[in-house]
Amino acid sequence: MGRLFGTDGIRGLANGDVLTPELALSVAVAAARVLIESDASHQPLAIVGRDPRASGEMLEAAVVAGLTSAGANVVRVGVLPTPAVAYLVGQAGADLGVMLSASHNPMPDNGIKLFAPGGQKLPDELEEKIEKAIADGHGLVGRPTGAGVGRVHDLLDGAEHYIKHLLEATPHPLNGVKVVVDCANGAASEVGPTAYEEAGAEVIKIHAEPDGLNINDNCGSTHLEAVREAVLEHGADLGLAHDGDADRCLAVTAAGDVVDGDEIMAILALAMRDAGTLTDDTLVATVMSNLGLRLAMKQAGIRLLETKVGDRYVLEELASGGFALGGEQSGHIVMPAYATTGDGVLTGLHLMATIASSGKSLADLASVLHKLPQVLINVPVKDRQAGAAAPTVQAAVALAENELGETGRVLLRPSGTEHLVRVMVEAATEDQARTIAERVADEVRTASPA
């Protein structure tokens, strides 16, 4: 069996060759065996949530069957954002959390994300143990019977608990802020607009009617055209866009200009520094963040630490140093004082609180960061590792780096969740960045055709 877990759990075409109900059941049994210590006096508890996509119903049934067959009691929380499930795991003192979502991926995909006690994401070594347990068939023997089989309950007010937590974590009322929220027909379609309204904002919600099939369909954080148009139409102060499981947030200004995760991190880092809550004046970001973020933070006297791509690695760095803010350009923003994972609604609340408390527009706040032109090309490949490691590709990268010198950079990485190799180039001009990115991408396509 190959590696199951990517940078954000297990993901793939639901009911396809890999992500089947059989796999979901096996993962649930193995996770219960690995994560839950055997204790005759303690029947373990697992929290299970999902986003609205249709296949989540099927996979939820398989996961619940697997967990209960391993002796775990299960609380189903239904459709909720990923960070809400992580929060409820911590609040309930659960031994395990399972979120069924493919985040920003198209509707036919789905995924399995696992949380350890406290709502923390799993470290690599635990994922490897789960994979080994599945491969060894450990879930097929020694299952409990009779009263040892787990029971299933439904939590009907999980959203209310989560919203209350979000409001308590909001540093300033949002009175006077008018916002358009694109919910991506996803897991935040109810809790996002409700939290923003209860915090004081005037909310116009779009793509907030999930039917199981329309999640991320030309909407949300990967398709910002709709929220830009709605902001201009309604004369809003800003727009926010979430993805399918609402662990990320991107924004647009009143003029419709995109404000990405780097700019949001810069805004929040400065606000937290001024409030004295930015631990050691340090921000954690990934290698994908724009060079402009590094320059802006250096000018502001804020240290920037870099990690590998993936919010799990940002989380690890935040935990190791006790830092207060980190995230990714894609809009995964993590504030450990309030959340154990990226939380798009929490990010939106803090961004709007900064606007409300400062009296400045989003455009003014974002102007602290001057981004270098950056071009990202996602190259479909058959083998993402081979596509990135081919000698011809590495030679093209070396040539590009020599050409750019200190005026830019090239970043090449296999996707952790899709059959893609991501080619990112920053340069002094967009034309130069695009020319170099296309050249490297062509070599990737040749090395590993899709």
Closest C-alpha among 237, 264, 287 to residue 334 = 264
Backbone angles phi, psi at 424, to 5 degrees: -120, 130
Residues 6+ apart with CB under 8 A from 49: 76, 77, 78, 79, 80, 82, 84, 85, 88, 97, 98, 99, 100, 158
CA 414, CA 219: separation in Å to the nearest integer?
Answer: 25
CA 127, CA 30: separation in Å to the nearest integer?
Answer: 10
List, in sequence order, the alpha helices (H) in 326-410.
Answer: 344-358, 362-366, 384-389, 391-404
Going by the DSSP 8-state scheme, the letter that residue 263 receives in this structure is H
**Residue 103 marked in a binding site:** yes
Phi-psi label, residue 435: left if phi above 0, alpha if psi -120 to 50, beta otherwise: alpha
* Residue 109 near residue 17 (C-beta atoms within 8 A): no
**Residue 245 marked in a binding site:** yes
Rg (CA), the chain: 22
* Residue 264 near residue 333 (C-beta atoms within 8 A): yes
**Residue 101 marked in a binding site:** no
CA 207, CA 227: separation in Å to the nearest integer?
Answer: 9
- Concerning whether 103 is annotated as a catalytic residue, the answer is yes
CA 94, CA 115: separation in Å to the nearest integer?
Answer: 10
* Residue 243 near residue 183 (C-beta atoms within 8 A): no
**Residue 247 marked in a binding site:** yes
Buried b (16+ CB within 10 A) or exposed e, 290-304: bbbbbebbeeeebeb
Phi-psi label, residue 119: left if phi above 0, alpha if psi -120 to 50, beta otherwise: left
- Out of 103, 221, 330, 415, pick the active-site residue: 103
Task: Strand 258-259: give its sheet, edge to edge.
Answer: 202-206, 178-182, 238-242, 249-253, 258-259
* Widest Cα–Cα separation across the chain: 69
Q: Which residues are annotated as a binding site for Mg(2+)?
A: 103, 243, 245, 247
Q: Which residues are annotated as a binding site?
A: 103, 243, 245, 247
- Catalytic positions, please? 103
